[in-house]
Amino acid sequence: MPPTTTKKSPRPTDPLPTSFYTRPADAVAPDLLGRFIIRTLDDGTKLIAQIIETEAYLGSPDRASHAHGGRRTPRNQPLYQPGGCAYVYFIYGMYECFNIVTGTADNGDAVLIRAAAPIRGEDLMLANRRRHSRSRGNPRHTTPDFLMGGPGKLCQALLIDRSHNLHPIHRPPLQITAGIPAAPAEIRTGPRIGIDYAGDARHWPLRFALAGHPAMSRPILR
Partner DNA sequence: ATGACGATTTACT
Partner DNA sequence: GTAAATCGTCATA
Q: Report d(CA 211, CA 199) in Å as an integer.
A: 27
Q: Is 138 in the site for DNA (CB under 7 A)?
A: yes
For DNA, which is the closer residue by CB, 13 or 133? 133
Q: Is 71 in the site for DNA (CB under 7 A)?
A: yes
Residue from 42, 47, 154 nearest 98 by CA: 154
Q: Report d(CA 102, CA 20) in Å as an integer.
A: 9
Say whether 70 sits in a helix, a strand or coil. helix
Q: Angle at the Cα of 171 (from 126 to 38), degrees rounded to 5?
A: 20
Q: Report d(CA 6, CA 149) in Å as an integer.
A: 37
Q: Is 119 in the site for DNA (CB under 7 A)?
A: no
Q: Is 50 left (phi over 0), alpha (psi -120 to 50) or beta?
A: beta
Minimum CB separation of residue 187 from DNA in Å reads: 19
Q: Is 153 in the site for DNA (CB under 7 A)?
A: yes
Q: Is 152 in the site for DNA (CB under 7 A)?
A: yes
**Binding region for DNA (CB under 7 A) out of 26-34, 118-126, 139-147, 199-207:** 139-147
For DNA, which is the closer residue by CB, 157 or 210? 157
Residue from 106, 21, 111, 25 nearest 70 by CA: 106
Q: Report d(CA 20, CA 28) in Å as an integer.
A: 7
For DNA, which is the closer residue by CB, 1 or 94? 94
Q: Is 142 in the site for DNA (CB under 7 A)?
A: no
Q: Is 85 in the site for DNA (CB under 7 A)?
A: no
**Binding region for DNA (CB under 7 A) out of 4-12, 29-37, 44-52, 126-134:** 126-134
Binders in 8-67 for DNA, by CB under 7 A = 55, 57, 64-67
Q: Report d(CA 89, CA 94) in Å as an integer.
A: 11
Q: How far apart are the first and last CA of the chain?
A: 43
Beta strands in the chain (DSSP E): 36-40, 46-58, 86-91, 95-101, 109-120, 174-177, 187-190, 207-210
Minimum CB separation of residue 107 from DNA in Å reads: 12
Size, binding site for DNA by CB under 7 A: 42
Minimum CB separation of residue 9 from DNA in Å reads: 30
For DNA, which is the closer residue by CB, 141 or 188? 141
Q: Under the rule (CB under 7 A), what is the footprint of DNA?
A: 55, 57, 64-67, 71, 73-76, 79, 87, 90-95, 97, 99, 110, 112, 129, 133-135, 138, 140-141, 146, 150-154, 192-195, 197, 217
